[in-house]
Amino acid sequence: FWCLYITYASKHDWKTGEDILRCNENWYKQGPRYDWVIFNTDTPGLACPRLVRSLTWPRLRLGRVLDLAIVNAARVSSWRPQTVWDGCEVFEESKPEDLL
């Protein structure tokens, strides 16, 4: 079982919050659970990868810990739902994993 505790600021009301992202091969004995994340990049649009694993790498020389994530990236899909709304984007998962 792996999880990340994420602290963020909402762009809607600017309040801070904390969330738990999980990546687990057997979530309560009902199969895998790999949460999706949304984050900003230097390119237009959203980046929406699926979290596969989280890693902690001690940077002993610097006295800090570096948190890393292995993710499956998602790309914008050409499929569209019958009911489309403003800002609607559909993503589909692509492989292989990337390191963030």
Residue 8 lies in a domain: no
Structure tokens at 38: 């949304």
| Burial (CB count within 10 angstroms: exposed 0-12, middle 13-18, buried 19+), residue 51 | buried
pLDDT, position 78: 84
**Among the listed residues 91, 88, 90, 87, the one whose alpha carbon sits nearest the alpha carbon of residue 71:** 91
Residue with tokens 């990049």: 41
pLDDT, position 39: 72
Residue 61 lies in a domain: yes
Alpha carbon distance 40, 92 (integer Å): 18
pLDDT, position 92: 80
pLDDT, position 61: 74
Over residues 39-89, the pLDDT tens digits come to: 767 777 777 788 777 777 776 677 777 777 778 878 778 888 888 888 777
Residue 45 lies in a domain: yes
Structure tokens at 76: 């914008």
Contact yes or no for 20/5 (Cβ under 8 A): yes
Residue 40 lies in a domain: yes
Count of domains forming the chain: 1
Using DSSP's 3-state secondary structure scheme, residue 28 falls into helix
- pLDDT score of 1 more than 70: no
Residue 95 lies in a domain: yes
